[in-house]
Amino acid sequence: MDFEKSGRTRLMVRLPRHRQQLAKLRLLSLSTLLEACGIAVITRDELRGRAISGESLIAQYESNCQAIEDKVVSLLTNVSPRFVNWVPAS
């Protein structure tokens, strides 16, 4: 499973103001956060689907998802707009 793609897609829905940056920007630090987001969201959703799962564990994953989202917003807010349209030479 492509956790980075999953995290990117989720955050594009959750953060419409940053949708263009999320779609175009390729930075290692962003990729790492997007992958972590994908893993956390999928794990949280799987825990929600189980009949027996600790509410405290689900709450911890909720908190992790929010913290990652906050870090992504901070990163995107501090990235120069000129990087959004930058395409590396092939």
**Cα 62 to Cα 45: distance, rounded to the nearest angstrom:** 10
pLDDT at 57: 87
* pLDDT tier at 27, thresholds 50, 70, 90: confident
| Element spanning 10, H or E | helix 3-14
**Tell me: the pLDDT tens digits for 41-78?**
999 988 888 867 678 888 999 999 999 999 999 999 88
**Cα 81 to Cα 14: distance, rounded to the nearest angstrom:** 20
Average pLDDT, the chain: 86
Overall average pLDDT of the 13-39 stretch: 92
Q: Alpha carbon 50 to chain centroid distance?
A: 23
